[in-house]
């Protein structure tokens, strides 16, 4: 493919995501390390892009390294209980100073508008404020955690009104109590609670590892678990507690929050690396993603197609029409024949389709347009579509399933189809047979 064609096809492949994301709320959470490492500029470019595509952004930042540095400067030691810092008055002072400084740096970078940079013409207004009400964690194991708190309420009305004005909301890991106290919170607690309260479409955690890795620590590059349901995530955490598996520190930290966010109604939680430039774009705008995605239930389902699927089907089959594997179908024809199609939907995208054209007089049907997106092949998707079409035909009283193919003969032979001739096709189909295309005809008794 020529570079121009690559660009056009890439740009088109992104269109469904752009349409799906417009007006949706994404909560993006990142630790203070992202700001400390100087990586935030790259992230700002990607956030700017999302904002300009109409995504409503809520950013949640952390400040752990900055707080540690401040405590060291002051030579203050803090105790931890169950992984939570005990925040006394002196520590709280360091927390406030560090978070204030990080917040100002983030606001400054989000205000960039340099010409010839991805920020040219960007007009991001940042809204930060007292959006989070907190309560004290209290006494644990006999130790008072003092100013360490947890989220009590998120002021969603205030955040929503800022988002509706086109502003980006910025939340810090600090909360205020009705008694006027300040509490030190964790970014993951703030992010998960904000995402739940706002009914966010996505909660994205940027972390040190690539995502949730299977058997972390057992090999040089442990395989990444690309998709996990809540049940699978819980099983993993149980195995971790029973020492039957290992997870990276970050996966151990974020996975429980991912689970509670999904259970609280957030559609998808993404755990991705903060070290890869553009990781968020790859995760959001490509089929395969780059990190781990957690959702409440399985993401894939096979169903009857509806008129709203026409665009997705056209996009799926277009490359195969261009290379001649499939016969061309225009939009009008597809719209008229959409009732004949079944589709496999994965996370809102059409990744597979097939159609059944019945010939009731011959007690037969034709399987057509069987396609699975290249990223989803060899996972049984093709088989599932074929089985669905066979069942449909059987329910209609059909006995023979025909298929015309130029390049996929073996796939059908391995699934019980036998080569036959054009003369065996239903009469109505024989008249439509394209002798130039010279497709082979296969049939399966069902």
Ligand X SMILES: CC(C)(COP(=O)(O)OP(=O)(O)OC[C@H]1O[C@@H](n2cnc3c(N)ncnc32)[C@H](O)[C@@H]1OP(=O)(O)O)[C@@H](O)C(=O)NCCC(=O)NCCS
Return d(Cα 231, Cα 216) in angstroms, integer: 19
What residue number has its CB nearest to ligand X?
A: 382
| Only segment of 20-28, 46-54, 207-215, 364-372 that touches ligand X (CB under 6 A) | 364-372
The least CB distance from residue 295 to ligand X, in Å, is 21
Q: Does 379 bind ligand X (CB under 6 A)?
A: yes
The least CB distance from residue 127 to ligand X, in Å, is 46
Q: Does 425 bind ligand X (CB under 6 A)?
A: no
Q: Does 57 bind ligand X (CB under 6 A)?
A: no
Q: Does 407 bind ligand X (CB under 6 A)?
A: yes
Nearer to ligand X (CB atom), residue 186 or residue 405: 405
Q: Does 443 bind ligand X (CB under 6 A)?
A: no
Return d(Cα 327, Cα 199) in angstroms, integer: 43
Q: Does 341 bind ligand X (CB under 6 A)?
A: no
Return d(Cα 4, Cα 31) in angstroms, integer: 39
Nearer to ligand X (CB atom), residue 144 or residue 337: 337
Q: Does 408 bind ligand X (CB under 6 A)?
A: yes
Q: Does 372 bind ligand X (CB under 6 A)?
A: yes
Q: Which residues pair with 157 in a beta bridge?
A: none
Q: Does 320 bind ligand X (CB under 6 A)?
A: yes
| Only segment of 15-23, 67-75, 130-138, 381-389 that touches ligand X (CB under 6 A) | 381-389
| Only segment of 100-108, 110-118, 217-225, 369-377 that touches ligand X (CB under 6 A) | 369-377
Nearer to ligand X (CB atom), residue 125 or residue 410: 410
Can you tell me which of 187, 405, 429, 443 binds ligand X, judged by CB under 6 A?
A: 405
| Only segment of 75-83, 300-308, 376-384, 423-431 that touches ligand X (CB under 6 A) | 376-384
Nearer to ligand X (CB atom), residue 406 or residue 430: 406
Return d(Cα 102, Cα 393) in angstroms, integer: 63
Nearer to ligand X (CB atom), residue 13 or residue 325: 325
Can you tell me which of 105, 411, 416, 422 binds ligand X, judged by CB under 6 A?
A: 411
The least CB distance from residue 327 to ligand X, in Å, is 9
Q: Does 315 bind ligand X (CB under 6 A)?
A: no
The least CB distance from residue 413 to ligand X, in Å, is 8
Task: Give the 3-state secondary structure of the chain.
Answer: CCHHHHHHHHHHHHHHHHHHHCCCEEEEEECHHHHHCCCHHHHHHHHHHHHHCCCEEEEEECCHHHHHHHHHHCCCCCCEECCEECECHHHHHHHHHHHHHHHHHHHHHHCCCCCCCCCCCCCCCEEECCCEEEEECCEECCEECECEEEEEEECHHHHHHHHHCCCEEEECCEEECCCCCEEECCHHHHHHHHHHHCCCCEEEEEECCCCCECCCCCCCCCCECCEEEHHHHHHHHHHHHCCCCCCCHHHHHHHHHHHHHHHCCCCEEEEEECCCCCHHHHHHHCCCCCCEEEECCCCEEEEECCHHHHHHHHHHHHHHHHCCCCCCCCHHHHHHHHHHEEEEEECCEEEEEEEEEEEHHHCEEEEEEEEECHHHCCCCHHHHHHHHHHHHHHHCCCCEEEEEECCCHHHHHCCCCEEECHHHCCHHHHCCCCCCCCCEEEEEEC
Please choose, from the candidates 403, 399, 421, the residue with its C-alpha nearest in 3D space to the C-alpha of residue 413: 403
Can you tell me which of 350, 403, 425, 441 binds ligand X, judged by CB under 6 A?
A: 403
| Only segment of 56-64, 212-220, 367-375, 387-395 that touches ligand X (CB under 6 A) | 367-375
Q: Does 378 bind ligand X (CB under 6 A)?
A: yes
Return d(Cα 258, Cα 203) in angstroms, integer: 8
The least CB distance from residue 377 to ligand X, in Å, is 3
Q: Does 316 bind ligand X (CB under 6 A)?
A: no
Please choose, from the candidates 205, 137, 132, the residue with its C-alpha nearest in 3D space to the C-alpha of residue 171: 132
The least CB distance from residue 345 to ligand X, in Å, is 14
Nearer to ligand X (CB atom), residue 197 or residue 317: 317
Please choose, from the candidates 113, 174, 178, the residue with its C-alpha nearest in 3D space to the C-alpha of residue 149: 174
| Only segment of 58-66, 153-161, 172-180, 368-376 that touches ligand X (CB under 6 A) | 368-376
Nearer to ligand X (CB atom), residue 33 or residue 345: 345
Q: Does 410 bind ligand X (CB under 6 A)?
A: yes
The least CB distance from residue 57 to ligand X, in Å, is 36
Q: Does 380 bind ligand X (CB under 6 A)?
A: yes
Return d(Cα 110, Cα 416) in angstroms, integer: 60
Residues that bind ligand X (CB under 6 A): 320, 325-326, 370-372, 377-383, 403, 405, 407-408, 410-411
């Amino acid at each position: 493919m020529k570079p121009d064609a690559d660009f056009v096809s890439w740009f088109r492949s992104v269109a469904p995501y752009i349409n799906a994301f417009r007006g949706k709320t994404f909560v993006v959470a990142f630790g203070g390390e992202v700001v400390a490492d100087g990586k935030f500029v790259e992230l700002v470019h990607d956030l700017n892009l999302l904002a300009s595509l109409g995504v409503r952004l809520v950013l949640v930042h952390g400040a752990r390294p900055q707080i540690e540095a401040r405590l060291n400067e002051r030579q203050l030691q803090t105790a931890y209980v169950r992984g939570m810092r005990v925040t006394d008055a002196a520590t709280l002072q360091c927390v406030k100073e560090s978070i204030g400084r990080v917040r100002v740096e983030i606001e400054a970078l989000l205000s960039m508008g340099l010409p010839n940079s991805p920020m040219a013409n960007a007009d991001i207004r940042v809204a930060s404020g007292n959006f989070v009400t907190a309560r004290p964690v209290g006494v644990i194991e006999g130790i008072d955690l003092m100013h360490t708190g947890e989220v009590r309420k998120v002021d969603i009305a205030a955040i929503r009104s800022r988002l509706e004005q086109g502003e980006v909301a910025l939340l810090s890991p600090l909360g205020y109590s009705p008694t006027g106290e300040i509490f030190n919170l964790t970014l993951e607690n703030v992010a998960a609670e904000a995402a739940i309260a706002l009914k966010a479409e996505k909660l994205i955690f940027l972390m040190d590892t690539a995502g949730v890795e299977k058997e972390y620590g057992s090999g040089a590059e442990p395989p990444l678990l690309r998709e996990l349901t809540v049940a699978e995530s819980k099983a993993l955490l149980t195995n971790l507690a029973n020492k039957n598996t290992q997870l990276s520190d970050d996966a151990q930290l974020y996975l429980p929050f991912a689970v509670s966010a999904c259970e609280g109604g957030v559609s998808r939680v993404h755990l991705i690396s903060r070290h890869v430039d553009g990781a968020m774009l790859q995760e959001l705008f490509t089929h395969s993603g780059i990190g781990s995605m957690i959702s409440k239930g399985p993401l894939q389902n096979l169903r009857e197609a509806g008129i709203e699927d026409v665009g997705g089907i056209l996009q799926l089959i277009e490359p195969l029409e261009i290379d001649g594997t499939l016969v061309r179908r225009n939009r009008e024809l597809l719209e008229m024949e959409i009732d004949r199609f079944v589709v496999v939907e994965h996370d809102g995208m059409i990744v597979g389709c097939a159609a059944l054209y019945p010939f009731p007089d011959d007690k037969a049907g034709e399987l057509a347009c069987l396609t699975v997106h290249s990223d989803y092949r060899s996972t049984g998707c093709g088989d599932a579509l074929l089985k669905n079409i066979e069942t449909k035909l059987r329910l209609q009283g059909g006995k023979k399933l025909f298929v015309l193919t130029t390049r996929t003969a073996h796939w059908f032979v391995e699934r019980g189809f036998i080569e036959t001739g054009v003369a065996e096709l239903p009469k109505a189909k024989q008249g439509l047979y394209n002798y130039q295309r010279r497709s082979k005809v296969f049939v399966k008794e069902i």
